[in-house]
Chains A and B, each alone.
Chain A
Amino acid sequence: MITQDTTSLFECGPRKTRVSIIVPLYNYERAIIAALKSAAAQTFRDLALIVVDDCSKDSSRDVVQRWMEQNADCGLGLVLRQNVQNARLAVTRNTGLALAQSEFCFFLDADNQLYPRCIEKHVAALDAYPAAAAAYGMIEVFEARADVIGTNVFSRQRLKHGNYIDAMAMIRTKALLGLEGYHDIRYGWEDYDLWLRLCEAEGYAVQLPEILSRYREHGQSMLRTETNISNNIRELKENMTRRHSWLDLH
């Protein structure tokens, strides 16, 4: 698994918890506090919050550090690391994963948010479904558009034609390490690539038929910028099909 070296900026509380919420951070000073607050407000408390800053150019890092200092007594493990060099999303997530000492990891991007029972429900799902490598809920899309995603069940047949499962999911740490974490893919779609590799390893994710988190869609979302420019899409599709020959992307 490819990770990045980091420097530690803040750490308090337990890291050996049942669940780690991993937050890759890059230039989201205006959104990150809402994400952290939503994580700290979880009903499930056996939780570590691991933020990995990927060399943000704004004040994201300071904002998080201040928030962690002020909330050191919130009862959760709090970790803030900074990549020694910008490593992009997939590697930053892996870096968080490598720092985690939990049975389950949940991936929360810095501009998204969780509803209070999100982690509790995901943990219950993985406890009840030992054969599932991951669990994902339905997600409310907010800000630029009102929508709901993550409404279909995990299906190799459906994934063959495109992704419909976001990265905001809970994955068994062991299973994710077994898959060598996320792979860095130019222009994005590392989450799609992960689900495809899970299919290839004969694994699956179970769907939680409830809305448990929020996905912010705005001009700066990766989906709206890098990934969806038509030339990049063509390249991404070709790249994906090279990696997974069974795909049928058009």
Chain B
Amino acid sequence: MVTRSAPPEPLPRSGPKGPGTAVRVRAEPASPSADEQLTVLNRLYRNTAAENDMLAVQVEWLKKAVNALNAKRRWWWWFVPGWLLRSALFRRLKRREIFDEASYKLANPDVAKAGLDPLRHYVFEGMQEGRSGIFGDQRAMVVRRAVAGNREKFALDEALRHRILDSGLFDAAWYRDQYAGSIRDGQNPLEDYLTMIDDDVFRDPGALFSTSHYLEVNRDVRSMHPLVHFVEYGLFEGRRAFSPAKVNAFLAGGSIDGLRPLASFLDPALPTVVLYWKGGNFFFTDIAHYVVSYLENKGFIASSLDSDTNISAGGVNIVVVAPHEYCVHGPGQYWSSDRFSDAVYINTEQWHTSWFTLAYNVFRRSGKVLDINPASAAGFARLGMQAGFLPLLPLPGSRLRFERANITQSLLRSKVIKHLTYPERFTERPYDIAFLGALNARRASALAALAPTLASHDCFLHAPRLDGPVRSTDPDMMSSSDFAQIAKNAKILLNIHQGESHYFEWHRLFLSGIAQGCVVVTEPCTPIGILQDGLHYLTATLADMPALIDHLLTTAEGRDKIQAIHDNGLRLMEEIESQIGLSASW
């Protein structure tokens, strides 16, 4: 089933807006509807029930294992050295056939792939991780055990109160406003919120954090209050914390008014070091190099580095690209608290992801953060941080400017690519539709629903299923430059969100789309102010997309429309080109 999302509120249509123009849109909607609440409750119940089943299976297996190990032993048993004893115990368990190795391997292909001994894996790791498959399919256990009401009582001491307030997720004013009349007498809002969890799982601490969502996506969190768990553990573990729906509303309620350019965070008298993790996503390395070009353009002395270990404190501006990589996996994990609080961070992640949580835990330590998406940056400002927007622009000489180039040989060999003509006239572009995005369940079902429409036009759909981390050597990896060549030869760039988040993916929609002269047709996006729906790009729900695409490509009126949007894009790019190098702009 394709999930259809409601379109966002339209932006005020007051003509084109230049960079930096303020757009303020509506505040977030009220609580979820009764139907939505019921759906969430259903899922929470199913999660709990599944967990109980899993525990019951473990209990049954442990009983059998204990019985097997307690069986009568031979006299020499007592003289066996410890290390041998352990192997003997495992052999004994195997002999008693209480563990179905084949079934376990089938249910846990990663174990099989790693060549681990299934029984040992289960005992040492699998049991704790709640792995299934120990009894084989035919013995699925159905035992229910109630665990409700076991949540630990917590004491709201000063340290915890401080951590919660410091997280920026509890908003007393919002809480009072939202739950006016139902806050118990004499309770301060935070205590009221923390003690209401057993009565109302939908009660939220602020416009961003969703109590029920945290429980839903972190199924092991049963014994603590979700927000307490998040500030005590979740932040450090990179737990997914923010629901796409709440994030959509939260970001739409932000304002890009007070966003600052990167230069304003830095001391112009000092050199600037831009850090990235060398083991990370290659896109972030490109961004780091881009930031250097961007700063040099503004008269800074800047360089990009994959380590700051030789850089002494003071005398240098530090900018970290993708802190969830550099400060979690890279050299930044060993930083002193001073360095954490001095640095400026560039966030690249969408808010509902676990990467974002890790990044959030880093950049709140300095409160100085820029984002490659203006709506996301406005969200940081709304959280009280010093926030800025870093526009990824096709600066001359930077890695984000994609000039006309030959397609990589390996791609030419493996995928059918039309003759690319780079025509002057937009309507003569050989591809009707281009799509770029890793395939997941949501995108797959969306593309399937669009299939009859896509099949009647000339398409280039790059939608590989990628299992595991993205490596630039993967045969299904397509470079930004290669895709840009396709985009320069395509009329429409189709965008389907990876999840329920309406996040405007600037690098995909702007750099790979508008900057290449494509008309972006996307699912509804969180407004970002700088680019406008209907003027620079077009939106439609998945249900309406086939009709829109057919209209644009097959009717005279539609062709005029995409020509007009294409022309607006060209004008915007000219405007941006003319502003590059002017210090007053971003």
Chain A residues engaging chain B, CB cutoff 8 angstroms:
115-118, 121, 124-125, 128-129, 131, 135, 138, 140-142, 146-148, 151-155, 157-158, 164, 204, 206-212, 214, 230, 233-234, 248, 250
The smallest beta-carbon distance between A238 and chain B, in angstroms, is 12
Closest residue of B by beta carbon distance from A125:
B416
Q: Would A128 and B448 count as touching, CB distance under 8 A?
A: no
Q: Which residues of B contact A209 (CB under 8 A)?
A: 415-416, 459-462
Q: Would A151 and B439 count as touching, CB distance under 8 A?
A: yes
The smallest beta-carbon distance between A206 and chain B, in angstroms, is 6
Q: Which residues of B contact A153 (CB under 8 A)?
A: 414-415, 464, 475-476
Bound complex: CA A72 to CA B102 (Å): 54
Partner of B451, one of A124, A129, A148: A148
The smallest beta-carbon distance between B445 and chain A, in angstroms, is 4
Chain B residues engaging chain A, CB cutoff 8 angstroms:
1-2, 102-103, 105-106, 109, 112-113, 137, 413-416, 439, 441, 444-445, 447-449, 451-452, 454-456, 458-465, 475-476
Bound complex: CA A129 to CA B112 (Å): 39
Q: Which residues of B contact A158 (CB under 8 A)?
A: 475-476
Q: Which residue of A125, A147, A209, A212 has the most chain B CB atoms within 10 A of its CB atom?
A: A209
Q: Which residues of B contact A141 (CB under 8 A)?
A: 448
A206-B416, A209-B460, A250-B112 known; A140+B451 contact, CB < 8 A: yes
The smallest beta-carbon distance between A145 and chain B, in angstroms, is 8
Closest residue of A by beta carbon distance from B114:
A250
Question: Interface SS of chain A: helix, strand, loop or mixed?
Answer: mixed
Q: Would A152 and B416 count as touching, CB distance under 8 A?
A: no
Our count of residue pairs bridging A and B at CB distance below 8 angstroms stands at 103
Q: Would B475 and A157 count as touching, CB distance under 8 A?
A: yes
Bound complex: CA A208 to CA B458 (Å): 11
Closest residue of B by beta carbon distance from A115:
B455
A128-B416, A140-B451 known; A151+B475 contact, CB < 8 A: no
The smallest beta-carbon distance between B299 and chain A, in angstroms, is 44
Q: Which residues of B contact A147 (CB under 8 A)?
A: 441, 444-445, 448
Write 30 A-B pairs (CB below 8 A) sorted by A numbering.
A115-B456, A116-B455, A116-B456, A117-B456, A118-B455, A125-B416, A141-B448, A142-B448, A146-B445, A148-B444, A151-B439, A151-B463, A151-B464, A152-B465, A152-B475, A153-B415, A155-B476, A204-B414, A206-B416, A209-B461, A209-B462, A210-B455, A210-B461, A211-B447, A211-B459, A211-B461, A212-B455, A250-B105, A250-B109, A250-B112
Closest residue of A by beta carbon distance from B450:
A211
Partner of B414, one of A115, A164, A207, A250: A207
Q: Would A211 and B451 count as touching, CB distance under 8 A?
A: yes
Name 16 extra pairs, CB < 8 A, besides A115-B451, A208-B415, A211-B451: A115-B452, A115-B455, A118-B455, A121-B416, A135-B416, A138-B461, A138-B463, A146-B448, A147-B444, A153-B414, A155-B476, A157-B475, A209-B415, A210-B455, A211-B447, A214-B451
The smallest beta-carbon distance between B462 and chain A, in angstroms, is 6
Q: Which residues of A contact B463 (CB under 8 A)?
A: 138, 148, 151
Q: Would A206 and B455 count as touching, CB distance under 8 A?
A: no
Bound complex: CA A60 to CA B524 (Å): 46
Q: Which residues of A contact B451 (CB under 8 A)?
A: 115, 140, 148, 211, 214
A147-B448, A211-B447 known; A250+B459 contact, CB < 8 A: no
The smallest beta-carbon distance between A38 and chain B, in angstroms, is 11
Bound complex: CA A2 to CA B441 (Å): 39
Partner of B416, one of A116, A207, A211, A250: A207
The 5 A-B residue pairs with the shortest CB-CB distance, nearest first, are A115-B455, A140-B451, A146-B448, A153-B414, A250-B112
Q: Would B459 and A146 count as touching, CB distance under 8 A?
A: no
Q: Which residues of A contact B112 (CB under 8 A)?
A: 250
Q: Which residues of A contact B447 (CB under 8 A)?
A: 140, 148, 211
Q: Which residues of B contact A129 (CB under 8 A)?
A: 416
Q: Would A154 and B414 count as touching, CB distance under 8 A?
A: yes
Closest residue of A by beta carbon distance from B105:
A250
Q: Would B416 and A208 count as touching, CB distance under 8 A?
A: yes
Bound complex: CA A14 to CA B156 (Å): 85
Bound complex: CA A185 to CA B464 (Å): 28
Q: Which residues of A contact B413 (CB under 8 A)?
A: 131, 204, 206
The smallest beta-carbon distance between B389 and chain A, in angstroms, is 34
Bound complex: CA A155 to CA B467 (Å): 14
Closest residue of A by beta carbon distance from B137:
A230
Bound complex: CA A154 to CA B410 (Å): 11
Q: Would B454 and A234 count as touching, CB distance under 8 A?
A: no
The smallest beta-carbon distance between B113 and chain A, in angstroms, is 5
Closest residue of B by beta carbon distance from A124:
B416
Bound complex: CA A247 to CA B441 (Å): 27
Closest residue of B by beta carbon distance from A206:
B416
Q: Which residues of A contact B455 (CB under 8 A)?
A: 115-118, 210-212
Bound complex: CA A129 to CA B1 (Å): 37
Q: Which residues of A contact B452 (CB under 8 A)?
A: 115
The smallest beta-carbon distance between A113 and chain B, in angstroms, is 11
Q: Which residues of B contact A214 (CB under 8 A)?
A: 451
Q: Which residues of B contact A207 (CB under 8 A)?
A: 414-416
Partner of B465, one of A135, A140, A142, A151: A151
The smallest beta-carbon distance between A248 and chain B, in angstroms, is 8
Q: Which residues of A contact B439 (CB under 8 A)?
A: 148, 151
Partner of B415, one of A140, A206, A250: A206
Q: Which residue of B105, B447, B449 has the most chain A CB atoms within 10 A of its CB atom?
A: B447
Closest residue of B by beta carbon distance from A208:
B416
Q: Which residues of B contact A142 (CB under 8 A)?
A: 448
